Chains A and B, each alone.
Chain A
Amino acid sequence: MDKILRINMGAEGGPRAASVSLGNYAGLGGRAMTSAIVAKEVPPLCHPLSAENKLVIAPGLLSGSLAAMSGRISVGCKSPLTGGIKEANSGGQGAQVLGRLGYAAIVLEGAPNGETIYKVFINKDGVKITADNSLKMLGNYDLVEKMKKEYGDKISCISIGPAGEMKMSAASVAFTDMEQRPTRHAGRGGVGAVMGAKGVKVIVLDDTGMPNREPKNPDKFKEANKNFVQGLKKHPVTGEGLPAYGTNVLTNVINEAGGLPTNNFKTGRFAGASKISGETQAATETARGGVVTHGCHKGCVIRCSGIYNDKDGNFLTKQPEYETIWAHGANCGIDDLDAIALMDRLDDDYGIDTIEMGATIAVAMDAGLAKFGDAKAAINLVKEVGKGTHLGRILGNGAAVTGKVFGVERVPVVKGQSMPAYDPRAVQGMGVTYATSTMGADHTAGYAVTANILGVGGKVDALKSEGQIDLSRNLQIATAAIDSTGMCLFIAFAILDQPDTFQAYMDIISGFTGLNMTGDDFVALGKSVLKNEREFNFQAGFSSKHDRLPDYFKNEPLPPHNVTFAVKDEDLDKVFNW
């Protein structure tokens, strides 16, 4: 990965690709790369859909190598949803294939004249950009099938569906999985709308003939990778819980804690939770001949994904994630797994963020467009988005826009982005991260649970509430660093509990890069990413006043525990004091 592919979509005479050296971006990957390029090259006050914005697609530092779990890819830009910097990342095959093709990033720049849309084909021989209006408004599934017919079945696709073409603020960028289905998405923040604004429908990658990336110190790398995999396999979360049930294993637990947002965040308990839980989902998949334990990319050893078949045993969608099950399920009062799975399929096909879509439908339900619990009506609302009707275009621009249009007061967003599947009144530490993240409300922004191992900001007393500010800071730093290596965030559990696994992780990076990566370096990397992002947001007009939850979370108690968000504003402002 010693080069960046820059594609100027607005070049005179048509789009033009140029492969350039890494320059000052050498040594960066994933989120560190996307945020560095956006912070340096995108005017913070530009319109997100304008030619001045850039869409950066960057595999992680270790992607394309044999490092286990290194298949995450980051997509960055100025977000049409939040107006701030955005990094959304995804699994799938894209990171590994792009890494093997040698690109540390693809940067889409400028904007084409007219309405023509393009496909980009990249293989070992170079880059070919072709206008292809026959692809217009194709869903991601049909699009990928068409690309397979044209380029063969060894390809990997990065694409947008109709939502991206219509430049909806909730549009995602899709990545194909091992079965070449467009089931993995960089979902949050409207990155798909920016790809649509660049006029690029699909980037087709073919790494035939390209070897894996080789480590600088093969022996150290190999040994560390082996220890790392062993650490993941022996941990109860990464070795057992996630493979057995996927992320949806959380539904019962969060519901029991009274933190599962239900009916647009009105209560923290959903009566139908057990009908849509990970346990029920796994049993349903097994009974229908689906798959419960499945990786989303080669080299994944956790394998928290799966295959969800319909009642007749035919593939419907990948195993929906916990956030999707919540967004289209509990948050809309829907306890029908098949209906939720269908909405997941539609979201993937239209290319739209499942969290934003579910949250938006719940707001629409509060506005009276449908009744909570009405699965059929919810499915029809998603279809409105795919068709691009006037209503669909409103919904496709997210919960904040929908709330404004229909006069809904209680809209659960921060910086314009919908909250995910944890009510911040019940899990207040999550609320701290929702409020202060550079990304808007984001459950993954402070995900990497390495606080006491890294000792950032000193040891935190786990049982004192004052600790949540320090913890959120540490988690956000660690997450930014992991996002930069291309590692799946789920490695964080093994890292939290097993210092030897954390060391193995550092040794993988050291063995691969030839540098001596330490915990301090890891922290410094995370801090540098956040510094770039916060500086961009500041220049874009954000201040501490935007690091807040909507007022009603402070004033309206959440049943069943009847708690409100009690973290003081002045404490929120301390999160980035380091």
Chain B
Amino acid sequence: MNSSAFPSLLLSFEPGRIFIFFQLLENGFIIKGKVGCSVKEFLCNRMFIEQEYLDKRIQTIFLNGKPVDDVNSAMVKDGSTISISAAMPGLAGAMMRRGGALASMRSGISYVPAETGSDSYEGKVTIKFFNLISRELGPEFLKRGIIIEGKTFSGFIGANRKIIEEGLFSAEKDGVKIETEKLFNIMWQDKSELVLKVTGKQDNRTMPDTATLL
């Protein structure tokens, strides 16, 4: 599956305000390609997240809303949602940590590995980046390009119009430069999905189409 099937939007943005786009990562973006693998395989080999980063930084992982303790046995399927977070405060935050000392306190919702085949096949996965993960991986993923739903993007730019207008240097839709005003006039909600790339002002070279990653 190729992301070129969707409209693409490239935004060149003030680096200091790029954090505003992290909301989109928090809400969830889409990755299409090979599934039927472990969470570890998916994160490290298909999303190219360093294993050291996974081991040390990503302390909390949810697969379809269930806290994961073992990234090797948790399987990613078509339609899965993977949410990743750094270590969280609070008793509940500690409980959610993978393999943490308090994991038993949320055992009722913990991910339990199912016996399924591991053949890889085409599928669609939703990824959510929370808190420090968003801050640390967000710029790179925004630069690579993320697939999001049109209605999500429409709601996002509507709610953040002022800061987007202030921070936007240039916008290109499907490779053609568009005026800022037009960015807000396009009926994004009518598009099922789009590929969004956001780069810092000094980094506005055309990026390779890596939104699908796989």
Whether A278 contacts B131 in the complex (CB less than 8 A), given A249-B88, A252-B26, A493-B87, comes out as yes
| List of A residues within 8 angstroms of B71 by Cβ | none
Whether A430 contacts B105 in the complex (CB less than 8 A), given A241-B132, A252-B26, A447-B90, comes out as yes
Whether A426 contacts B19 in the complex (CB less than 8 A), given A247-B89, A252-B130, A463-B99, comes out as no
| List of A residues within 8 angstroms of B90 by Cβ | 247, 250, 322, 443, 447
Centre residue among B22, B85, B92, B93 by max chain A CB count within 10 A: B92
| Segment 66-102 of B: residues with Cβ below 8 Å from A | 66-67, 69, 83, 85-96, 99-102
Of A121-129, A153-161, A256-264, A397-405, the segment with at least 4 beta carbons within 8 Å of chain B is A256-264
- Least CB distance from B139 to A in Å reads 15
- B108 on interface, CB distance cutoff 8 Å: yes
Closest residue on chain A to residue B24 by CB atoms:
A274
Q: Do the beta carbons of A257 and B101 come within 8 Å of each other?
A: no
Q: Do the beta carbons of A253 and B104 come within 8 Å of each other?
A: no
| List of A residues within 8 angstroms of B131 by Cβ | 241, 244-245, 249, 252-253, 278-279
Per-residue contact bits, chain A 536-578, to B (CB 8 Å; 1 contact, 0 not): 0000000000000000000000001101001000000000000
Whether A496 contacts B104 in the complex (CB less than 8 A), given A245-B131, A279-B134, comes out as no
| List of B residues within 8 angstroms of A304 by Cβ | 89
Whether A467 contacts B85 in the complex (CB less than 8 A), given A244-B131, A279-B131, A279-B134, comes out as no
- A245, A256, A427: the one contacting B106 at CB < 8 Å is A427
- B103 on interface, CB distance cutoff 8 Å: yes
Closest residue on chain A to residue B108 by CB atoms:
A563
- B22, B23, B60, B100: the one contacting A253 at CB < 8 Å is B60
- B207 on interface, CB distance cutoff 8 Å: no
CA gap between A253 and B95 in the complex, in Å: 11
CA gap between A211 and B166 in the complex, in Å: 50
Q: Do the beta carbons of B132 and A561 come within 8 Å of each other?
A: no
Closest residue on chain A to residue B17 by CB atoms:
A287
Whether A449 contacts B102 in the complex (CB less than 8 A), given A241-B132, A257-B65, comes out as yes
- B135 on interface, CB distance cutoff 8 Å: yes
CA gap between A422 and B19 in the complex, in Å: 28
CA gap between A185 and B83 in the complex, in Å: 34
- A287, A451, A460: the one contacting B163 at CB < 8 Å is A287
- B66, B109, B130, B132: the one contacting A236 at CB < 8 Å is B132
| List of A residues within 8 angstroms of B99 by Cβ | 462-463
CA gap between A249 and B59 in the complex, in Å: 14
CA gap between A109 and B16 in the complex, in Å: 55
Q: Do the beta carbons of B92 and A462 come within 8 Å of each other?
A: no
Whether A427 contacts B105 in the complex (CB less than 8 A), given A252-B26, A252-B130, A279-B22, comes out as yes
CA gap between A433 and B90 in the complex, in Å: 14
- Least CB distance from A390 to B in Å reads 37
| List of B residues within 8 angstroms of A283 by Cβ | 19-20, 22-23
| List of A residues within 8 angstroms of B95 by Cβ | 427, 429-430
- Least CB distance from B107 to A in Å reads 4
CA gap between A466 and B104 in the complex, in Å: 7
Q: Do the beta carbons of A430 and B92 come within 8 Å of each other?
A: yes
- A452 on interface, CB distance cutoff 8 Å: yes
- B26, B57, B87, B134: the one contacting A237 at CB < 8 Å is B87
- B27 on interface, CB distance cutoff 8 Å: yes
- B197 on interface, CB distance cutoff 8 Å: no
CA gap between A297 and B63 in the complex, in Å: 39
Per-residue contact bits, chain A 235-247, to B (CB 8 Å; 1 contact, 0 not): 1111011101101
| List of B residues within 8 angstroms of A561 by Cβ | 65-66, 108-109
Interface of A, secondary structure class, is helix
Q: Do the beta carbons of B86 and A428 come within 8 Å of each other?
A: no
Whether A426 contacts B106 in the complex (CB less than 8 A), given A253-B96, A277-B26, A449-B101, comes out as yes
CA gap between A462 and B98 in the complex, in Å: 10
CA gap between A501 and B141 in the complex, in Å: 35
Per-residue contact bits, chain A 297-339, to B (CB 8 Å; 1 contact, 0 not): 0000000100000000000000000100000000000000000
Q: Do the beta carbons of A237 and B93 come within 8 Å of each other?
A: yes
Q: Do the beta carbons of B101 and A253 come within 8 Å of each other?
A: no
Per-residue contact bits, chain A 399-437, to B (CB 8 Å; 1 contact, 0 not): 000000000000000000000001001111110110000
- Least CB distance from A282 to B in Å reads 8
- Least CB distance from B68 to A in Å reads 11
- Least CB distance from A513 to B in Å reads 28
- B128 on interface, CB distance cutoff 8 Å: yes
CA gap between A258 and B69 in the complex, in Å: 17
| List of A residues within 8 angstroms of B96 by Cβ | 253-254, 257
CA gap between A447 and B59 in the complex, in Å: 19
Q: Do the beta carbons of B104 and A279 come within 8 Å of each other?
A: no
- Least CB distance from A208 to B in Å reads 35
Centre residue among B62, B109, B132 by max chain A CB count within 10 A: B109
- Least CB distance from A271 to B in Å reads 11
Q: Do the beta carbons of A253 and B109 come within 8 Å of each other?
A: no
| List of B residues within 8 angstroms of A249 by Cβ | 88-89, 130-131
CA gap between A244 and B19 in the complex, in Å: 13
| List of A residues within 8 angstroms of B163 by Cβ | 287
A–B Cβ pairs within 8 angstroms, 15 of them? A249-B88, A252-B26, A253-B131, A254-B92, A257-B92, A257-B96, A283-B23, A427-B95, A428-B106, A430-B92, A443-B91, A467-B105, A468-B105, A493-B87, A493-B89
Show the binding face of B for A, using Cβ within 8 Å. 19-20, 22-23, 26-27, 57, 59-60, 62, 65-67, 69, 83, 85-96, 99-109, 128, 130-132, 134-135, 163
The 3 A-B pairs at the shortest CB distance, nearest first, are namely A429-B105, A467-B104, A465-B107
A236-B57, A259-B92, A443-B90 provided; 6 other pairs, C-beta below 8 A? A249-B130, A250-B88, A280-B26, A462-B99, A465-B104, A475-B91
